[in-house]
Amino acid sequence: MRYYVVADVHSFYTELVAALTEKGYFEDMGPKKLVICGDLFDRGGEAQAMQNFVRELLGREEVLLIRGNHEDLLEEFAENLEIWMDSESFLYSHHMKNGTVETMLQLTGLKLEEAFLWPRRARLLLRATPFFREILPAMRDYYETEHYVFVHGWIPAREIGDPPSRYEPLGDFRTASPAEWERARWYNGMLAAHSGVILPNKTIVCGHVPTAYGHTMYEGKPKDSDFSVYSARGILALDGCTAYTDTVNCVILEDEP
């Protein structure tokens, strides 16, 4: 099976299509799957196009969706939308800063003032979108092949320090609890890999933290000078910080399910 793998596409549909086109995805008629390692939305302005594209691939069983921390943010926002909209600090909240609110507006077609006036309607419209009804239920914490494990942040581990300065192994990731996976979606995979949280005979493919971190910390490159794929023992990190670089990193992996 040929896997085309991306992460943190954040509603940048045009950039995703450009990356897939460059890799020959649309001309590839063989067995293939697109793996998206979390964070479909927020940041960019093409949430509707991204939703439609992923929905189409789901219908053809050609996509594997890993849940990211921004999926958690969007679900939490939808569950408590009326409370958030009534909060005095709403305009300065993390949901506004992280793009969750903008995604809600793009997916529902509402204007911000309409959401303020009719928050219950906004919540119902958001929950009725294909993202909530079809895409989110199809997401998983990880996907494993013979030689790879696809995640968003990293596999569950033990955090050392606050914020973490390193990570320690926590046991078999396959038996981790939902709460442990939710926390792991925020991990810095490059730091975790260099802390020794890796898997024997497997490479963990992740997103979440821009790859410039690894190039700077472990290769000595100038800060924010390289957002290409970061590769080291046990890890492939893909987040190209598309909002800054206008580029989606994509790798092609051949492996058995």
Give the pLDDT of residue 91.
84
Residues 9 and 51 in one domain: yes
State how far the Cα of 131 lies from the Cα of 40, in Å rounded to an integer.
Answer: 10
For 140, which DSSP code? B
- What pLDDT, in 10s, does the model give residues 36-91? 999 999 999 999 999 999 999 999 999 999 999 999 999 999 999 999 988 888 88
DSSP bridge partners of 251 = 5
Give the pLDDT of residue 257.
86
Give the pairing type, strands 230-232 and 251-254. Answer: unpaired
Residues 130 and 11 in one domain: yes
- What pLDDT, in 10s, does the model give residues 233-249? 999 999 999 999 999 99
Give the pLDDT of residue 92.
86
Q: Would residue 253 count as lying in a domain?
A: no
- What pLDDT, in 10s, does the model give residues 148-200? 999 999 999 999 999 999 999 999 999 999 999 999 999 999 999 999 999 99
pTM: 0.96
Residue ending a domain, among 87, 116, 138, is 138
Q: Would residue 225 count as lying in a domain?
A: yes
Residues 115 and 177 in one domain: no
Residues 43 and 109 in one domain: yes
Would you tell me the crossing angle of helices 100-108 and 69-79 to the nearest 10 degrees? 70
Residue 37: partners with Cβ closer than 8 Å, 6 or more residues away: 5, 6, 7, 8, 66, 68, 150, 151, 152, 205, 206, 207, 238
Residue ending a domain, among 109, 138, 167, is 138
Structurally, how many domains does the chain consist of? Answer: 2
- What pLDDT, in 10s, does the model give residues 93-151? 999 999 999 999 999 999 999 999 999 999 999 999 999 999 999 999 999 999 999 99
- What pLDDT, in 10s, does the model give residues 34-49? 999 999 999 999 999 9
Determine contact, residues 54/39, Cβ cutoff 8 Å. Answer: no
Closest CA to 55 of 128, 132, 129, 135: 135
Give the domain range for residue 215: 143-247
State how far the Cα of 250 lies from the Cα of 158, in Å rounded to an integer.
Answer: 29
Residues 194 and 94 in one domain: no
Residue ending a domain, among 93, 120, 138, is 138
